[in-house]
Amino acid sequence: MDENPETVPETLSSLIFLYNRDTPAGRDGVDPSWPGRQGIAVALNAAADILTANDLSVVITFLISRALADYNMDVRSRMIDAGIGIIDKHGKNNITRLLPIFENYLNKKVTDEETYDLVREGVVIYTGSLAKHLSMDDPKITVILEKLLEVLNTPSESVQRAVSNCFPPLMKSQEVNAEALTSRLLNQLTQSENYGERRGAAFGIAGVAKGLGITSLKKYNIVDALKAGLEDRNSAKAREGALFGFECLCEKLGRLFEPYVIQILPLLLACFSDPVIAVREAAECSARAMMSHLSGQGVKLVLPSLLQGLEDKAWRTKQGSVQLLGAMAYCAPQQLSQCLPKIVPKLTEVLTDTHPKVQSAAQMALQQVGSVIKNPEISALVSTLLLSISDPNEYTKLSLDILLQTTFVNTIDAPSLALLVPIVHRGLRERSADTKKKAAQIVGNMCSLVTEPKDMLPYISLMLPEVKKVLADPIPEVRAVAARALGSLIRGMGEENFPDLVPWLLETLKSDNSNVERSGAAQGLSEVLAALGREHFELVLPDILRNCSHQKASVRDGHLTLFKYFPRSLGPTFQNYLPRVLPAILDGLADENESVRDAALSAGHVLVEHYATTSLPLLLPAVEDGIFNDNWRIRQSSVELLGDLLFKVAGTSGKAILEGGSDDEGASTEAQGRAIIDVLGREKRNEVLAAVYMVRSDVSLTVRQAALHVWKTIVANTPKTLKEIMPVLMNTLISSLASASSERRQVAGRALGELVRKLGERVLPSIIPILAQGLQDSNGSRRQGVCIGLSEVMASAGKHQLVTFMGDLIPTIRTALCDSVSEVREAAGLAFSTLYKSAGMQAIDEIVPTLLHALEDEETSATALDGLKQILSVRTAAVLPHILPKLVHPPLSAFNAHALGALADVAGPGLDSHLGTVLPPLIEAMGNDDQEVATLAKKAAETVVMVIDEEGLYSLIAELLKSLGDTQASVRRGSAYLSGFFFKNSKLDLLDESPNLVTTLIVMLTDPDSATVQSSWEALGCVIGSLPKDILPTYVKVVRDAVSTARDKERRKRKGGPILIPGFCLPKALQPVLPVFLQGLMSGSAELREQAAEGLGELIDVTSENALRPFVVPITGPLIRIIGDRFPWQVKSAILSTLGILISKGGIALKPFLPQLQTTFIKCLQDNTRVVRSSSALALGKLSALSTRVDPLVNDLLSNLQVASEIGVKEAILVALQGVSKYAGKSITASVINRVLVVLQDLVQSEDDQIRSSAARAMGIVSQYVEDTELASLLHALSVPASSESLAVRHGTILALSSVFRHGASHVCGSSAFPTVVDCLKSRLNDDKVPVRETATKALGCLLVYQAQSHYSGTYNFSELLPFLSSSLRDDASDVRRRALGGLKSVAKVNAITVISYLPTLGPAIAECLRDASTPVRLAAERCALHVFQLTKGMENVQAAQKYITGLDARRIAKQPELRTKFMEDEALPYQVDQIEIIWSRWSRFGLAIVLVYLTDVSLLNLIISLKKKVAR
């Protein structure tokens, strides 16, 4: 009609005619022709585009007059659609033509009411369709809208739908009435009693909402009203109507309504369990409409809440969720494929719910899924598949069988997959291997049947893990099917959908799991790579080959297994890669891991099986190379593979069991032999058989057995075959003897030996000359092969056979031992060993002298030396005694030194019994002036000491110790170096030998040769450095004793002055020995810690300040840490003593530790042990010299002094205060000094003797730093109590004055209080208490010493005061007399001339004292007379003294030496009995002889007594 417009009227007439003809007479009869009439309606609708204006009137008239009154609803609906289509096309231009027709009909009188109603519905719809072409302000639109609303009540869905479609264009003109219109429709929807009216109202609301826009839903509260209707529990019709509304809104608005779907979903779920059937049906229709219009995003939003509803405890909620999920089967195909993978598994789970209605809903939902399946084959199996899903135990295997038997012609859609996948997934998880295999097979077939490969994507995450598990099944056939399934998945869906599959397979190949898993992964990877194509395989192959040599055996095993499956998956393509693959397989054959070797061998067998005939030129060379490989496992596997090749070529299985030791007859036939020749050719066949025969003598038993099996299987007659291949065999043997591979040479030699044993004397006359001639060959490798051959020949032939050939053998071996190539000499050494077995001493006598003579020739010396090394390596005990005497003969040359080192390296422990011969010359040569000789001797000596084993250790240490005591410094130096080198590098257990070396080396640190000292120090570091850290504390005593010995030795050399050990004055001097003491200090027992601390102090004392400086911090830290812990007082005392020495020597380097040390010392002042308190007091005094702020320290001491309750603690604090004042008094401010003096003035009057003495000494020291006025005040303050009735007060003040005179006599003499003080002293000289008189005498002596020394001429000068001292010489108390003698002696020592003028007065008094009954007085008198009479100045003084004393006494006293002990230099030191340990630890290192001293203090007497007892102990 479109091409022939002139036929349109005629065609329309024909259509109208046909319609009239096929229209039945009545509506009660059968209507078989309704499809024809429906077809006419479709034709009219299709022809709408080509109708003219005249045609339009004809068609519209026909529709109104006849077609719209058709009794068949389908025909009538089609006619309405045709009219709407025509009006849509032509209505705009024909409004004036059509609208009157519609109005006339609607206004005419009714004759047949039933027919009129049918036609009226259609005309109203036409009018509504035409109205959209009217002007928006046309009043007719409102009239038309009212008519449409009336028709909307027609109980025909097609009519209602058509009316609904008319609403949207008209709503633009009805915005004013929109609210009333929507309210009217909503009321009708929820309140009408008529089903059709409610349904129509739903369509009307949908049309109105579409016309007004999506915003109208909120603006006019449409959704809220519908929600309210759903929640109306009293009216089922309201709920049903609301559901109709939501259904129609979904249909009409489509995805625009999607946001509201999420909101109404809970209400919809509740309606699925409504008690009224009509509501439930409406809910189902509404859900179906919603789901069919959901977008992909909508599915994502809806699905989680529905799936969550399945977890609800209420069964109705579950049921509703299930029904909604079932409704999702009506989603669009794209959304369906997206949601079904999540829906069906959940529905499957719900099938087992406890509530039967939930189960029934799940079953119905699955049937809904099945109902939308488009694949006819699957559609026919839906009932069976649903049974399998609902009862998997019973029907899974049946379903898998049916699926495998089904021939698929059509592709599988998404719903089909949704039902298939759970069944297949269950099958993959079955225990039955057959079921798993079938399921895996179906998985592989799925990709080729799906409509879209992407439909499979949602199921990959579900099925792939199970396929991976099946890939690890113990049954190979199941693994093979799973591997093919993976290949099919990759091939069908592409690699991009399996990004992790290949990495997972590769990772599994590397895992440490079972061989089965790696085998499955290998098979799967082979199929996957085959599916990915050649390019991908070539990318992966380098990694596979690289991992074949991975360090982990499991990785090698997995990747070599791949080559077992590649031939099957890749087919002929893989043979192109054989040259690259075969080396990896051969390497795998040599692996130390059995599973790796098995994998490589299996791969080799598969390669031979697949490519033996097609790729023989590739396989055979690789296998032949493997036969001569260095690794016996490769040789074994290569022989087996060569056997497989030959068996395949010969047409035999090679599985025959051959018994018996003889190999003359085999299991092969002549025909098989000819077959091998035909395929390989005679030359190649001879080469192969020669190689097999040679490896029959392999060094490995398994290789020999494999070669023998192959030989017997393919060789029928051994003698005959040997005769045929003999030329080639000999060439192979000679080439192998010259090979770079030692094992290959050995195998060839053994094969040669076997020939000799078999052929005997018949071949020797020809073989030996040939071999001897072979030494003339220019190729070193061939000469080496000759030597190996000689060795094998001699080993195979009997002694009686060789006797004849000695004349040829010995010169040949001798020549080879001097060959220019080291490998030849090495082989000659082995030949010499074999010769020695047959010739004995004859071999040594004829070969060794020649080699020794060759040593003297510069041209041949190097090769001759190596020859000696070779024979020495095989016959050490026999050859060594012949070599050493010549090499060690003095003078030792550079070459001989080199030779000794080289031979020692070879002789090894054989040198144990020759150390006395070898080592001394080498040590002596290490000091040679010739640098070359010294260097070579040093290297040789290092070699000698390192080759000694445990049996020679004692001899070695003895030799080293002997050399350390040698008279030559160079020998001592060399021995020290060797000792250090040996202990540093040796692997032997040297703990028992270390103490001797440590002691000797420490003593050698005092060696007069500085280079020896340096060498000994370095050796000491090596020796101690070789000791385990945990045993270092046991060496504390060893090191301490050694340091003491070295100190004594150094003291004897120096004879006075500070004693420093030279070795401990080097840079880093303490580095070797310090770890011993520190380790003992940190981890030893209490006794060991004490020894370590004392030893550390002794070590510091003999170390120079510069050498000590770098170690101050490492030493001080541990000492502070240990003294802060709870250890016995002996440990603390030792540490404090060491810290005192360290402070004296370390000086400013200790400044970082100043706060810690100060705190530690102050804390120790409170210790319960007197020794600890005294030591800390002394150390604190020395430490104060480093402090820049002394006032806080002094204040702390004063505060502690005031609160201290124990006498001992107070005494210690006072001693500390003395030290601080002595070393840092100038830094103390005046105010603090005044505070000190105030405190001390109280303490000097203490009832305790020690407190008084200590306070007095402290006051004397402090008085040096006070101003003159303050000093005068102090002296007045001290003079007043001197006349007190209390002994303690008098004694204390006089002690204080004595101390002040001792430390600051010049200040006192210049003070205004001086006369008062002197008067006080004079009065106390007559005190009734001896201690007061003794102290006053001491004070007077100090004053006189100052006046005599300074020639004081002021008030109370020397001449005035001396008589008072002289009177004390005749005091009743011996202590007073002794103190007066001491003072007089001190005066005479500083100014003897001043005293001489007073001899008439003093002489008789001294003479009386010399005869005193008290021994201390007599001793003091002798010391006094010595200085007063100047008896050491000449005989004239001795004679002059005889005026007062006897000549005998004068001469005896004159002969006494000037003994002065260091203990008397510091009178401030409180020499008490319980402080002897401190004094002894400080001074015992100077040694203690019997010392006679003039005792000036009772405490000193106690000191000497204690020291003597110490010496006695």
Q: What is the dihedral of CA 225, 228, 234, 240, to 10 degrees?
A: 60
Q: Are 415 and 340 in contact (CB under 8 A)?
A: yes
| Mean of per-residue pLDDT scores for the chain | 76
CA distances from 488 to 348, 443, 493, 503 (A): 27, 8, 8, 18
pLDDT tens readout for residues 1247-1293: 888 888 888 888 888 888 888 788 788 878 777 776 777 888 888 88
Question: Within 10 A of 1375 (CB to CB), how many other CB atoms are there?
Answer: 19
Report the percent of the chain where pLDDT is more than 90. 0
CA distances from 1015 to 1001, 1003, 1019, 1255 (A): 9, 13, 6, 54
Give the range among 382-386, 569-573, 997-1001, 1278-1282 with minimum mean pLDDT: 382-386
Give the range among 516-520, 656-660, 875-879, 897-901 with minimum mean pLDDT: 656-660
pLDDT band with cut points at 50, 70 and 90 for residue 984 = confident
| pLDDT at residue 323 in the model | 67
Half-sphere exposure of 827 (CA within 13 A, CB side): 32
pLDDT band with cut points at 50, 70 and 90 for residue 1169 = confident
Phi, psi angles (nearest 5°) of residue 717: -135, 110
pLDDT band with cut points at 50, 70 and 90 for residue 238 = confident
pLDDT band with cut points at 50, 70 and 90 for residue 373 = low
The DSSP secondary-structure symbol of 911 reads G
- Considering all CA atoms of the chain, what is the largest pairwise distance in Å, rounded to the nearest integer? 190
194: tokens are 């008529």
Q: Is the pLDDT of residue 765 over 70?
A: no
What count of residues does the chain have? Answer: 1513
pLDDT band with cut points at 50, 70 and 90 for residue 1463 = very low
Q: Is the pLDDT of residue 1428 over 60?
A: yes
| pLDDT at residue 621 in the model | 77
Q: What is the dihedral of CA 180, 182, 186, 187, to 10 degrees?
A: 10
- Exposed, middle or buried: residue 967 (CB in 10 Å: 0-12, 13-18, 19+)? exposed
Q: Is the pLDDT of residue 1015 over 80?
A: yes
**What is the C-alpha to C-alpha distance for residues 74 and 37, in angstroms, rounded to an integer?**
10
Question: Within 10 A of 20 (CB to CB), how many other CB atoms are there?
Answer: 11
Q: What is the dihedral of CA 455, 457, 462, 465, to 10 degrees?
A: 140
Please name the residue that has the structure tokens 């020669």: 690
Q: Are 217 and 226 in contact (CB under 8 A)?
A: no
814: tokens are 């001798």
| pLDDT at residue 113 in the model | 62
Q: Is the pLDDT of residue 1200 over 70?
A: yes
Residue predicted with more confidence, 262 or 279:
279
Work out the angle at residue 368's Cα, subtended by the Cα atoms of residues 365 and 369, and round it to the nearest 5 degrees.
Answer: 95
Q: Is the pLDDT of residue 162 over 50?
A: yes
Alpha carbon 605 to its chain centroid, in Å, reads 42
**3 state DSSP class of 1279:** helix
pLDDT band with cut points at 50, 70 and 90 for residue 1466 = very low
pLDDT band with cut points at 50, 70 and 90 for residue 1302 = confident
pLDDT tens readout for residues 1116-1163: 888 888 777 777 888 888 888 888 888 887 777 777 777 877 788 788
Residue predicted with more confidence, 423 or 855:
423
Strand partners, 665: 717
**What is the C-alpha to C-alpha distance for residues 734 and 42, in angstroms, rounded to an integer?**
101
The residue among 1253, 1324, 1265 whose CA lies nearest residue 1295 is: 1253
* Cβ partners under 8 Å of residue 571, min gap 6: none
pLDDT band with cut points at 50, 70 and 90 for residue 314 = low
Task: Give, to the nearest 10 degrees, the angle between helix 894-907 and helix 915-925.
Answer: 140
CA distances from 1168 to 1093, 1133, 1194 (A): 20, 12, 22
Q: Is the pLDDT of residue 335 over 60?
A: no
pLDDT band with cut points at 50, 70 and 90 for residue 1507 = very low
pLDDT tens readout for residues 129-158: 777 777 776 777 777 777 777 777 777 776
Q: Are 630 and 744 in contact (CB under 8 A)?
A: yes
pLDDT tens readout for residues 725-741: 766 776 777 778 777 77
Q: Are 11 and 25 in contact (CB under 8 A)?
A: no
The residue among 1252, 1352, 1331 whose CA lies nearest residue 1299 is: 1252
Give the burial string for 1176-1208 (b: 16+ CB within 10 Å, else e).
bbbbbbbbbbbbeebbebbebbbebbeebeeeb
* Cβ partners under 8 Å of residue 309, min gap 6: 269, 317, 318, 320, 321, 324
CA distances from 887 to 819, 856, 860 (A): 21, 11, 16
Mean pLDDT throughout 411-435? 76
Mean pLDDT throughout 551-569? 83
Mean pLDDT throughout 911-926? 77
Q: What is the pTM of this model?
A: 0.47
Report the percent of the chain where pLDDT is more than 70. 77
Q: Is the pLDDT of residue 1074 over 60?
A: yes
* Region of residue 355 (phi > 0: left; psi between -120 and 50: alpha; otherwise: beta): beta
| pLDDT at residue 848 in the model | 61
| pLDDT at residue 810 in the model | 66
Strands (E), 760-812: none
pLDDT band with cut points at 50, 70 and 90 for residue 1491 = very low
Residue predicted with more confidence, 814 or 200:
200
pLDDT tens readout for residues 687-713: 888 888 888 888 888 888 888 888 888
| pLDDT at residue 1479 in the model | 44
CA distances from 507 to 184, 427, 539, 557 (A): 70, 26, 17, 13
pLDDT tens readout for residues 858-909: 666 666 666 666 666 655 555 666 666 666 667 777 777 777 766 666 666 7
Give the range among 625-629, 811-815, 1159-1163 with minimum mean pLDDT: 811-815
The residue among 818, 731, 728, 734 whose CA lies nearest residue 781 is: 734
Give the range among 1087-1091, 1383-1387, 1486-1490 with minimum mean pLDDT: 1486-1490
**What is the C-alpha to C-alpha distance for residues 1334 and 1314, in angstroms, rounded to an integer?**
20
Read off the amino acid at residue 1483.
W
pLDDT tens readout for residues 774-791: 677 777 777 777 777 777
pLDDT band with cut points at 50, 70 and 90 for residue 106 = low
Alpha carbon 1016 to its chain centroid, in Å, reads 41
